[in-house]
Structure formats: C-alpha cells, structure tokens
Amino acid sequence: MSADDPPGPLRAIEIVALGDLDAEILDALVRGLSRRVGVPCRHAADIPRDALPRLAGRSQLDADAVLSLLAVYPATEGAILLGVTAEDLGHPLFTFFFGRARMGGDAVVSLHRLDPAYYGLPASRNVMLRRTILECVHELGHIAGLRHCRDYRCIMRFSGDVDVIDLRGRGFCEACATHLPRAMRHALHA
Amino acid sequence: MTTAARDTTSVLIVDDERIVRESLGSWFRDDGYDVATADGGRMALRLAAERPFDVALLDIKMPGMDGLDLQRRLAGVAPDTAVIIMTAYASVETAVNALKSGAYDYIVKPFDPDELSQLVRRATEHRRLRVEASAVGKENPHDFIIGESPAMRRVVALIESVAPTDATVLIQGESGTGKELVAKATHAASPRCFNPFVAVHCGALAEGLLESELFGHEKGAFTGASGRHKGKFEQAQGGTIFLDEIGDVSPKVQVELLRVLEEKCVTRVGGSEDVKVDFRVVAATNRDLREAIASGTFREDLYYRLNVVTIDLPPLREHPGDIPLLARHLLDRCCHAMGKPPMRFSAEALDALKRHDWPGNVRELQNAVERGVVLGAPPEITRADLPRYVVDRAVRPMPHTLADLERAHVVRVLEESGWNMSQSARILGIDRGTLYAKVKRFGLERPGNER
Ligand SMILES: [Zn+2]
Ligand SMILES: [Zn+2]
C-alpha cells in the first residue's frame, strides 16, 4: 500500500464480535476505543462460535484464517473491521498472537491473554480493557501500513509479552506518526 | 555509503515449506528485518555466497540437504552468520547436536513470538561482536607487518603515525617486501577505513588501458568502450587508492596523475565533465625514483607530490632476526587456511630459513612456508620439506678475508639481538667496549638511527 494512493479517509471502526463475548466488555471496549481514536466506533456484527476457523489440534482460532474471513465480510464504505474475541489466537507457525492485522485490510485482537487472570494474577477488567485498546491501536497502525518500531516509547513496538504492552508508549513515535497515511492520521494520531 | 552504517539486520530463512517461508518472512519484515528466503540448501548456499547474512534460520528437516548438512556447508561460505536451527518437537535431540556442531541456538515450532524475537536479537548481537572482534585485528598494522627488529619497528611506528592523517605516502622497497600490505595497513588504521581500498598495479597495464582504468571512460570513448566506466579514482571515493609500481607509469599518464592529485577531480576518457573525488593516495615503487628523475623518466614535480611521507621497507636479508617470527606467523596462518593441524619447523629447517638471503623477500618466504605445509608431515616441517634453493643457497657467499668473516658475524649477531649491545657482546664473548670499537671500525650503523 502506498501513501500516495490513499483508500479514502477512515470514517469508522466496526467491531465484529467473534464467538461468545461478554456484552458489558464489548460495550466498554466500543466506548473506550471511540475515545482513543478520532472516528466513531460501533459494534457492527457477530460471527457465531461455530463459524470461526480453528487450528487443527490446538484450542485456538487460526488468526490468519480469521482475517481472511473478515476480508470477505460486508463492511460500510470507509470503515475498518476489527474482530474481537475472548478466545486465544494462534497461527500454524506461532504459538499465539495478541492481535493480527493485514496492511490495508482488517484486524483481529484477542482478549484471552490480556486479562491478568491468564497469568495467575487477580482478574482485572480494567487492565484487560486498557491493554485491549492499546493492542487495537497497534493493529490499526499495521493496517495503516506501519511495521514494528524499535522505540520503546512507541505503540508500534512489537509485543510478544504482555509486559511490553504495559510498558511501551501509548502513542506513535514521531517517525511512525509521519509514516501514517493522511487518510488515517486524523483517526490514530490526534 | 559506509558499511558501518548498515543497521538493518539481515535474516535468511531456509525451509522447504512455502507457508513457513512466507509467514516467517513477513513476520520478520514487519519487525524491520531485511529478509531473504530459500526453499532448500542449494539456494541458501547461493544466496549466502552473494552477500553476508547476520542470522540464518534453517529448518532441520528438508529433503535433499537437511538443516545440519546445510549448517556445516554454510559455515564454509559464511562463517560469521549466526545459525538458528528450526525444529519440530520430535527432533529436539537432533537440534541439540546442531549446537554441538556450532549452531548458535535452536527453536521449536510453533514459535513463541517473544522467544523468537529475543533469540534473533541475541544472535545478531553475538554475530556483531564476532565480526567486530575480527575487524579490530584487521585494523592493527602489527598483524600485517611482522617484526621485532628495529627496522620493522620503525616501519610500524611510521604507519601508525601517518595513517590517521591524509598525507600522501610513498612506499619504497624491493618486490616481495609487502608494500601492498603496508598500504592496506595504512588504510585500515585511517579514518577512511570504512570506505574502499582500491589497488591499481600500474606497471601491468599499457598506457591507454591504464588511463581508462584510473580515470574511467565514457561510452564510445574508444573501440570496445561499450559502456560508461567508473575509474579507480572514482571507485576509491572516500577511501584510499593504492598506486603500485608508480615508477613504471608513462610520462603522459604522469602528467594526468599530477593534475588529478592537485585538483582532486578526474575527467573520464572521452568525457569533458570534471568529477570531484575524495581520496588519499598511497603509492609504491621498487625502483629508485631519484635515479629515474635523474635519467628523465620520472617527473620531479610528481615525485614531490607523492613523497610527502616515505616508508622504506627493508629487504628481508637486512633484518634476518625477524625471519623466525615471520616464518612462524606465516606457518600458523597457512596451517589454519589449509585446515591442517598446527605445525612447527624442525631446528634444521628453521636454521636453513635463517641462513637463506631471500631475494624475493617475505613473498618468497611465504611460498617456502606454504610448500613446507603441503609436503611436511604434521607436526613438523623438516629441512627436506623446504624448496631446494632455500636449502642450497642457505650457505652464504664465502667471505674472502678473516676480517670480512668477522664483520659478517658481528653484523649477524647484532641483527639477531636487535642491536642489543650487551646481549651481542655476551654472545660474541667480548666486552661491550670492544664491540663498540668493532662497530665503529667496520662502519656499521644501527638501522633506523639516521633520524
Ligand atoms: Zn504488531
Ligand atoms: Zn515508532
């Protein structure tokens, strides 16, 4: 995707609930993300549990197959589809992903490993929501064409560990911000 | 422009499964790596021969050449590349074997993203440290120019003091004394070391060819000039150009060289445009340029341009005390290069090396050592393994008088002790005062004393 050839300005983010998702969490996420990004965010659709692609022999969703599913899912003009799931996201070659995105396409984020309860700590809905929103912004950065950034102060820093999500910056570093296409800059980098 | 500025880590992924190459490739690309992929050992070796990779990830199970096979072969082509073996759970034991044979680490499929990311970062760091360690060695003139004799110490000190400057250097010495090594050492110890070192052997080329070699040419400048060609001066941009056998350059090219050195710009043959170039010149000659000036074959003004600093490389026969050290150094290097176990010289072989007068200097010594390594049965190289002429000529021409013999002996002892008067006197069985008297009477001069 080239920055000279914008797909038109980003107008909305449409959240697709993948499988069973607590309605309150979904609501809080829609509100939180709306505050964080500069475009409206809404709960657009649900894909039932049974329709979700899974990895053979593993109790995980196949992240890339989920993205392929979202790619053919109807979306409003100018909107990005953001799949959210409580299940774990996996990949044939990787044990898990917090989230996964395609440049110029859609994204999926899993709550599974973002709740402190996953690591044997007291469960915290707030911590989980905060991490989920940050992870969503990171994946939106990928959709906008950004790759990972070495800067710890930047949200585009790769995280394979939940600590990194908590430690890295909440926004884009200057270098990444300048690479955001204009169509998405207003939404991601206020 | 500089190689030092390369901060993108390069990763080679070798796996017969397309999905692995693609997923892993895009994952690394997203993480800012420079990625190449190969579907098997053959392709991997070809890629690795073309350019160096910081890290290679090899699948352990591939049809044809498996990961361990490939790892061994890769070590020959690209010894600095850090190898990570990718394995399925079932073959961890094999992966452990890979570590024993020199792989940096292994990782089990499917990969934990965090583990993979950290592993590759550690491997990169490991490789960087290794490359830096060997580069530091290369920058040390001592590694090129070996010798404990005062004459060689003076050469090394001169290189060290002149290298950091931009001064033009003229190296004088018989053929085989290592003039190009001195030029390289000067370049390596200079701030230009990350830019090119370009050598031109001026004596080997006809006038017309030398011009286009040095200054480049435009398309159609002469018959056979099919395309535009950058000359050696342009190729040396930011670095050092080494003009070997400068004494053999024709008068016409001498004029052109003088202009380039003065104006720091070149005009390509058949072109009209001046190209600005930044270079440092190191020239070398085995001829006496002052004599050439006197006979009118070398321009005096060019000589003074080149001769800002002169480094005189003594012929080996003038510092025979360095022969054992040099021979041992060349032997170690040669054994290593030929994959032979470490070897040593027998006492008689070393004695023959010390007695030979080495008209071909260090290069001749190197040839003799190589021959010894090929023919010798480890761990020892004997007299019989050395070239015939070395053994035969090791007997120096017979001095005519007793005084000649005494003089030759005193010289030899002084050279071998590095002109240590007390030590030499002890060896000769005379007191120091007597030795000083003999040195004076024979008109001997300690090399390097003239300054
Ligand atoms: Zn990412
Ligand atoms: Zn950044």
Q: Kindly list the protein residues that place their beta carbon closer than 5 angstroms to ligand 2, a single-atom ion.
A: A 149, 151, 154, 156, 173, 176
Quote the CA–CA distance of B160 and B142 in Å, as a whole number: 10
To the nearest whole Å, the CA of B193 is away from the closest chain A CA by 29
Checking if the pLDDT of A132 tops 50, the result is: yes
Residue A1 lies in a domain: no
How close is the Cα of B220 to the center of ligand 1, in Å? Answer: 53
Residue B183 lies in a domain: yes
Q: pLDDT band at A5, cuts 50/70/90?
A: very low
Q: Output the pLDDT for position B228.
A: 73
Q: Which of A64, A150, A160 sits opposite B112 (nearest CB)?
A: A160
Residue B36 lies in a domain: yes
- Interval A92-111: pLDDT, tens: 999 999 999 998 899 999 99
Q: Is A139 a catalytic residue?
A: yes
| Domain's final residue, options B115, B135, B155 | B135
Cβ contact (<8 Å) for B117 and A92?
A: no
Residue B397 lies in a domain: no
Q: Using alpha carbons, list the distances in angstroms from residue A16 to A13, A42, A66, A67, A110.
A: 10, 9, 11, 12, 12
A152 burial type by CB count under 10 A (0-12 exposed, 13-18 middle, 19+ buried)? exposed
Quote the CA–CA distance of B233 and B247 in Å, as a whole number: 18
Checking if the pLDDT of B139 tops 60, the result is: no
Most confident range, picked from A27-36, B230-239, B247-256, B301-310: A27-36
Weakest-pLDDT range from A18-27, A82-91, B289-298: B289-298
Same domain, B181 and B294: yes
Q: Output the pLDDT for position A98.
A: 96
Give the distance from CA B106 to its chain's centroid.
Answer: 35
| Arithmetic mean of pLDDT, B94-111 | 81
Q: pLDDT band at B451, cuts 50/70/90?
A: very low
| pTM value > 0.95 | no
B132 burial type by CB count under 10 A (0-12 exposed, 13-18 middle, 19+ buried)? exposed
Largest CA distance in chain B: 86
Q: Output the pLDDT for position B400.
A: 61
Residue B393 lies in a domain: no
Q: Output the pLDDT for position B140.
A: 43
How close is the Cα of A167 to the center of ligand 2, in Å? Answer: 14
Contact B332, B193 (CB under 8 A): no
Residue B188 lies in a domain: yes
Pairing of strands B216-217, B229-230: antiparallel
Checking if the pLDDT of B136 tops 60, the result is: no
When divided into structural domains, chain A yields a total of 1
Same domain, B247 and B281: yes
Task: Give the range of the structural domain holding residue A109, as residue numbers without chain letter.
Answer: 12-188
Residue A142 lies in a domain: yes
Same domain, B303 and B349: no
If phi > 0 it is left, if psi is from -120 to 50 it is alpha, else beta; for residue B133 that is: alpha
Same domain, B337 and B299: no
Quote the CA–CA distance of B282 and B169 in Å, as a whole number: 5
| Domain's final residue, options B273, B294, B312 | B312
| Domain's final residue, options B135, B152, B177 | B135
To the nearest whole Å, the CA of A24 is away from the closest chain B CA by 31
Q: Output the pLDDT for position A53.
A: 96
Q: Output the pLDDT for position B154.
A: 87
Q: Output the pLDDT for position B221.
A: 64
- Interval B184-225: pLDDT, tens: 888 877 888 777 888 888 877 777 778 888 998 887 666 555
How close is the Cα of A9 to the center of ligand 2, in Å? Answer: 22
Q: What is the ipTM of this complex?
A: 0.85
> Domain holding B409: CATH number?
1.10.10.60
Same domain, B83 and B12: yes
Same domain, B156 and B301: yes
> Domain holding B327: CATH number?
1.10.8.60
Q: Output the pLDDT for position B142.
A: 52
Weakest-pLDDT range from A139-153, B27-41, B192-206: B192-206
Cβ contact (<8 Å) for A150 and B111?
A: no
To the nearest whole Å, the CA of B54 is away from the closest chain A CA by 18
> Domain holding A141: CATH number?
3.40.390.10
Checking if the pLDDT of B337 tops 80, the result is: no
Same domain, B321 and B308: no
How close is the Cα of A149 to the center of ligand 1, in Å? Answer: 9
Contact B348, B389 (CB under 8 A): no
Q: Is B29 on the interface with A (CB under 8 A)?
A: yes
Residue A6 lies in a domain: no
When divided into structural domains, chain B yields a total of 4
Residue B451 lies in a domain: no
Where would I find the beta strands (DSSP E) of B257-339?
265-267, 274-276, 280-285, 309-313
Q: Using alpha carbons, list the distances in angstroms from residue B364 to B179, B336, B415.
A: 14, 19, 20
Q: Using alpha carbons, list the distances in angstroms from residue A85 to A40, A143, B38, B212, B300.
A: 20, 18, 35, 68, 84
| Arithmetic mean of pLDDT, B292-301 | 90
Same domain, B273 and B353: no
Checking if the pLDDT of A164 tops 80, the result is: yes
**B147 vs A71, which has greater pLDDT?**
A71
- Interval A44-77: pLDDT, tens: 999 999 999 999 989 999 999 999 999 999 888 8
Residue A110 lies in a domain: yes
Residue A57 lies in a domain: yes
Residue A123 lies in a domain: yes
Same domain, B290 and B338: no
Element (H, E) at B38: strand B34-38
The rounded mean pLDDT for chain A is 90
Quote the CA–CA distance of B271 and B263 in Å, as a whole number: 17
Q: Output the pLDDT for position A7.
A: 57
Q: Give the three-class secondary structure for B332.
A: helix
Quote the CA–CA distance of A170 and B114 in Å, as a whole number: 20
Q: Is B115 on the interface with A (CB under 8 A)?
A: yes
Residue A3 lies in a domain: no
Tokens 């049809």 correspond to B63
Residue B448 lies in a domain: no
Helices and strands (H, E) in chain A, number of each type = 6, 7
Contact B244, B200 (CB under 8 A): yes
Q: pLDDT band at B432, cuts 50/70/90?
A: confident
**Closest residue of chain A to B7, computed from CA coordinates:** A150
Task: Give the range of the structural domain holding residue B325, as residue numbers without chain letter.
Answer: 317-387
Specify which residues A13 forms β-bridges with.
Answer: A41, A80
- Interval B39-96: pLDDT, tens: 999 999 889 888 889 999 999 888 888 888 898 888 878 888 999 999 876 666 777 7
Weakest-pLDDT range from A99-113, B8-22, B49-63, B147-161: B147-161
Q: Output the pLDDT for position B216.
A: 87
Residues of A in Cβ contact (< 8 Å) with B109: 93
| Arithmetic mean of pLDDT, B277-301 | 91
- Interval B380-389: pLDDT, tens: 898 888 887 7
Contact B363, B176 (CB under 8 A): yes
Same domain, B324 and B306: no
DSSP conformational letter for A47: E
Q: pLDDT band at B2, cuts 50/70/90?
A: very low
Same domain, B167 and B288: yes
Same domain, B276 and B330: no
Residue B447 lies in a domain: no
Pairing of strands B265-267, B274-276: antiparallel
Contact B144, B285 (CB under 8 A): no
Closest ligand (CA of A138): 1
Q: Output the pLDDT for position B286.
A: 87
